[in-house]
Amino acid sequence: MSLRTKLLEAVAARWPALRASRKTRVFSGMAAGLSLVAFGAAGVAPMAPDASDLPVTLVVEELALPDLAAQIDSLRPNARYVAEERVRPGDSLAALLDRLGVRDAEAAGFIRNDAAARALLNLRPGRRVQATVDAEGRLLSVSTLLEGKDDVKRLTIERLAEGFAARELPAAIDTRMEMRSGEIRSSLFAATDAAQVPDAVAMQLVDIFSSEIDFASDLRKGDRFQIVYETQWQDGEAVRTGRVLAAAFQNAGKTYEAIWFGKPGSSEGGYYDLDGSALKKAFLKSPLEFSRVTSGFAMRVHPISGQWKQHKGIDFAAATGTPIRSTADGVVDFAGSQGGYGNVVVVRHGPVYSTAYAHMSRISARRGEKVAQGQVIGFVGTSGWSTGPHLHYEFRVNNDARDPNAIVVPHAPALAGAELHQFRTVAGDMRHRFTLLSPNALQVASR
Ligand SMILES: [Zn+2]
């Protein structure tokens, strides 16, 4: 029964006189007033004649309303619905397909069992998935990007006449340059978050300046950074964050800059300051690994100058288990327990320099092992003569502990000749980008 019929039934029930004539059409001017009454309006305008005295001639005609449902049904066989969803943490294939509007056990079965299609089961959260379904929820196609180690591919699963097929095609990647700047108010990560800098880029920033800045203890409120990095895009989707091409960091009033320069005809490269001098020094400023996790509490406890002779090291307060890195390339000279040092690792860096890392909870390096700068050799603890978890770090020159901040350690070689010439072109472009990011940023560095 249509709504219109129901209304007429209701009116007829209240107004039996109308029932007989419901198939006739209202034609008189009076009928307008009548229908008002008929629809239950108790208050009739005072000047209107009494409705019960009116000659009732109601003509009702069934109007042919278009049957929309039938029209929609007739369109359905060709209807395609396109949906896009993001993978959620802990998502199952069933849940993902459900959100995409797919009601298709056959398709789900194919995805679970096909070697190529199975990749859809292992997407990381945030990945976008597009699907086309028909009106019954049958899967026509589903597609997503797959990030390989070296490339990005597009996986497409399609319904063909003979069943489903999955194929992977190389995705066209477009590299863009992103520029960001920020100011430190509470922590580095709070600032990089605010500037929408991905963590992978923030960690590169830390790494680039790790010979100059101890990010756990040297940062000051008001420090600023500018950063230029690569991102790779496909179909409007950022698929990968690439290398930092240039960065500047103003720490406690001093500006540090870094420009990536790839050696011509080689995959190697490194970071240089605007003059072409290598940025990375032989030693890291801090042996503690800096991360989003450790950044909150790691801090340096400087030796009190008057006590240097007795102490001969720098204490870094940090939580038990914080990774400890070798501050330079070298060979492990000692790894074991030694009196007040507790669990200690000593790394030799050539004939003159060595470094010691004491009070470890656990050692993860062996004597005689070659270690690279930044390699984890153990974890913070409180073994030996120690009152709480911390790292006691010694920098030794000819086996004599010295204050590393007072020692000038050699840099990697600077660029020269044709390389320097080429570098200056790159540096000039980056300097210009920095100027755009922050008009006053590089005045300290510019000469
Ligand atoms: Zn100490």
Q: In a structure prediction context, what are the per-residue pLDDT tens digits for the chain, which is 447 residues long? A: 555 555 445 544 544 443 444 443 433 344 444 343 344 334 444 444 455 555 666 666 666 666 777 666 666 667 788 999 999 999 999 999 999 999 999 999 999 999 999 999 989 898 899 999 998 899 999 999 888 777 788 999 999 989 999 999 888 788 888 999 999 998 899 999 999 999 999 999 999 998 889 888 888 999 999 999 999 888 777 888 889 999 999 998 899 999 999 876 777 788 998 888 888 778 898 899 887 766 555 566 655 544 555 677 888 888 999 999 999 999 999 999 999 899 999 999 989 999 999 999 999 999 999 999 999 999 999 999 888 899 999 999 998 888 877 777 766 678 888 888 889 888 888 888 777 765 444 343 333
388, 382 Cβ separation under 8 angstroms: yes
Expressed in angstroms and rounded, the spacing between residue 59 Cα and the centre of ligand 1 is: 103
Q: Which residues contact 93 (CB under 8 A, 6 or more apart)?
A: 108, 111, 112, 120, 121
CA distance 375 to 324: 8
CA distance 152 to 366: 39
Expressed in angstroms and rounded, the spacing between residue 164 Cα and the centre of ligand 1 is: 66
Q: Which amino acid is at 2?
A: S
Expressed in angstroms and rounded, the spacing between residue 320 Cα and the centre of ligand 1 is: 15
Expressed in angstroms and rounded, the spacing between residue 184 Cα and the centre of ligand 1 is: 29
DSSP structural state of residue 413: P
Expressed in angstroms and rounded, the spacing between residue 219 Cα and the centre of ligand 1 is: 22
Parallel/antiparallel/unpaired status of strands 343-349 and 330-337: antiparallel
- Residue 61 corresponds to which tokens in the numbers above? 């005609």
Expressed in angstroms and rounded, the spacing between residue 331 Cα and the centre of ligand 1 is: 23
Q: Which residues pair with 269 in a beta bridge?
A: 262
